[in-house]
Structure 1
């Protein structure tokens, strides 16, 4: 399995492309759809789905264009389906210089924690709310990797001052879901470099202050 990272859009949000046996899923295409189109133009790979960790503007900016181009379904948690069409919730109508984003294509609702199988891929899907109410994380145990959006960063945690955010809920998600994974688990997050669960237990001041 191959996992590639593409920082996209105005905030250089990490988009991840997961590939296996000439199939792929795209996670959080936040902008610059042409970069993804050009990447796949050079590869004999079929895109199976667009997966969203959550529906903030910087994670969904290229969803319509990418989904339409690859004829791939969109998956988002049920708590944030309406965010795709509502700038006041996805944040695109809040920040200066960020145009409103209203996703036109229909999405498939994620409802509850589950094994999510799409083509060649099976993700263990965890609900990890707090940064937003419908934040989810996609765990690939055979790759020792979790793709977690804006839940846990190297040396930090997700902000909770946007619509629907809640700091206590976020810390519960980190404590009850993320920190229960093996220490060697690689955390591929929405902004900045990868980290590991073990590294964050040792060095992250938000986690150390939370009793670890």
Structure 2
């Protein structure tokens, strides 16, 4: 498995390209990632959305136009992308609408490009937040649930600090401490480091 990281958009959102002998997939779709993928000469078969806040889905429609399948917990809506709320904030947020090809079944592992991915629904930052755990690679893609020594903000529509903390403690910190964590923003970390050093989780 080869892992490459792209960071783009005005809030510096991370996307992760996973390349395997059996295919390639992308975690999240921030602004500019389609151009980055094209410049690498790589075909992306599937895009897994950790959640649908605008900064993670700006390029979702563009990726779908290249032939990629979109996977998410829920169908596209302006509530999930925060486009509805942003109007009240006076922010010119606009996402090109897209159609989700496959909705996650949280109870079943997802097999993509020869990789088995264990899904966890961890709401609190957003109602549709999902994390992706690749046990054979020791990797967790945490979206905006868990960051290096921080957690996702919970003051947006559908947010809940208690719900987020409960989900992190019961579904993420139970993973092996050596698990590498790749979040939606900022640097990578590990489950062990966050268990010991994250001030929100002490």
- How far did residue 97 of structure 1 move? 5.0
Specify every segment of 5 or more residues in structure 2 that has no aligned partner in the other structure, as ranges. Answer: none
* Structure-1-length-normalised TM-score: 0.87
* Equivalent residue number for residue 157 of structure 1: 151
Match of residue 73 from structure 2: 77
CA shift at 1:38, angstroms? 1.2
The 5 A counterparts of 1:41-190 are 41=41, 43=42, 46-69=43-66, 71-78=67-74, 81=75, 84-86=76-78, 88-93=79-84, 94=86, 98-190=92-184
The answer (yes or no) to whether the contact 2:5–2:17 under 8 Å persists in 1 is: yes
Measured at CA, do residues 65 and 172 of structure 1 come closer, stay the same or move farther in structure 2, by a change above 3 Å?
A: same
Report the CA distance shift for 1:98/1:19 in structure 2 as closer, same or farther (over 3 A). farther
8 Å Cα contact 1:4/1:16 also seen in 2? yes
Question: 1:22 deviation in Å?
Answer: 5.6
Asked if structure 2 preserves the Cα contact closer than 8 Å seen for 1:139 and 1:147, the reply is yes
CA distance in structure 2 between the partners assigned to 1:35 and 1:73 by the alignment: 18
Write the deviation string for residues 46-75 of structure 1: whole angstroms up to 9, x where unpaired. 422111000000000000001211x11100
CA distance in 1, matches of 2:156, 2:101: 23
Report what 1:31 is aligned to.
31
